[in-house]
Amino acid sequence: MDQLRALETPCLLLDRAVMERNIHRLHRRLRTAGVPLRPHLKTTKCVEIARLLVRDQPGGVTVSTLAEAGRFSASGFQDILYAVAIAPNKLAHAAALRRSGTMLSLLLDSADAARAAGAAATRDGLTFPVLIELDVDGHRSGVSPDPSVLVSLARAIHAIPGLALRGLLTHAGSAYDGTSVSAITAIAELERSTMTAAAATLRDAGLPCPTVSVGSTPTALAAQSYEGVTEVRAGVFAFNDLMQVRLCVCSVEDIAISVLTTVIGHYAPKNRMIVDAGWTALSQDSLRHSGVLIFGYVCDDAGQPLEDLVLTALNQEHGIVTRLSGGTIDSGRLPIGTTLRILPVHACSTAAAHDRYYVLDESAQIVAAWPRFGGWTESG
């Protein structure tokens, strides 16, 4: 652990063996089901990790920003789905990526946005492959699966020069409200059945629908059938986090990232300890645990949870550690300067707080520092 103790904290650690096991688990599961993975790169935003995610897969990826599309395109990824309904002011950027040869697919759920995308494409003599976003659970965005509404939008898109209708996409975000694997399995089945019915509706209307794209980490790990689905999107599964543990789709031992931090103070009268990881290092994602809002599990520097120590408040550069039981923290065992690891509530937001992953091998030796990017422009 000497190497870890020499790092300036806070910083982000990635346990490569745990991540590879997580990736292998979903790859194997989907291979058995006969459906390919189109990994969502928004969680990791790292070229080295993206290469592991597409290993033995067809190679298509999912992104949440055009900055991701540009960076991954420049690193050799050529089949990229931008899975957020596109804003008109991003069309010039998207067209530039498309012109460079990237097979950049767009997501649409309105005729207004479709007309803007078509105009941008024809201006440049391009064609954008397009998926229609379907709202299967009222969670966020997407068009209603009502056949008349859906067919009307699909016909409009199909008629717009510069757009090539390729099918349907959904994200059953309500899976995150699930409280058991069976509840998530039911949402996954709702996702699948609504999507396959909608695809049949389009095909019956003589419209093209080769792609039926579903996904989220919980539904990808809990679905019992993928019949009629042509690809599964998921991103968090590579890292996992306490939210996925809460959803019962992984264990604490499956969490591959942690924030390395250092004890900077003990406050026995207030029953608390302070570490140097605040919301800038962990994000503000929290979950309720035994009635208390927590921002992470506190582990030793080997990654083993320390009894009932949790983060119960975050400031910009301070993390407040208390015991769930309300008991006293043993300051003799964890003196100032002790290096600890924090398991995150939400991998996407915690990773987004860092510009690199310190990659650990199975002996907890740092074997690489992989860059991670953020922002909305390739220069960002």
CB of 43 to a copy of itself, least distance (A): 9
Query: C-beta of 87: minimal distance to a copy of itself in Å?
Result: 4
**Of the candidate residues 179, 315, 325, 365, the single one contacting a copy of itself (CB under 8 A):** 315
Size of residue set near a copy of itself by CB under 8 A: 66
Nearer to a copy of itself, 37 or 116 (CB): 116
Q: Which is nearer to a copy of itself, 32 or 316 (CB)?
A: 316
Applying CB under 8 A, the span of 81-89, 154-162, 182-190, 201-209 interacting with a copy of itself comes to 81-89
Helix (H), strand (E), coil (C) string for the chain: CHHHHCCCCCEEEEEHHHHHHHHHHHHHHHHHHCCCECCECCCCCCHHHHHHHHCCCCCCEEECCHHHHHHHHHCCCCEEEECCCCCHHHHHHHHHHHHCCCEEEEEECCHHHHHHHHHHHHHCCCCEEEEEEECCCCCCCCECCCHHHHHHHHHHHHHCCCEEEEEEECCCHHHHHCCCHHHHHHHHHHHHHHHHHHHHHHHHCCCCCCEEEEECHHHHHHCCCCCCCCEEECCHHHCCCHHHHHCCCCCHHHCCEEEEEEEEEEEHHHCEEEECCCHHHHCCCCEEECCEEECCEEECCCCCEEEEEEEEEECCCCEEEEECCCCCCCCCCCCCCCEEEEECCCHHHHHHCCCEEEEECCCCCEEEEEECCCCCCCCC
Per CB under 8 A, 6 contacts a copy of itself: yes
Toward a copy of itself, which CB reaches closer, 93 or 192? 93
8 binds a copy of itself per the rule CB under 8 A:
yes
**Does residue 372 interact with a copy of itself by CB under 8 A?**
no
- Closest approach, Cβ 59 to a copy of itself, in A, equals 23
Residues in 327-366 that interact with a copy of itself by CB under 8 A: 335-337, 339, 348-349, 352, 354-356
- Binding region for a copy of itself (CB under 8 A) out of 7-15, 24-32, 220-228, 248-256: 7-15
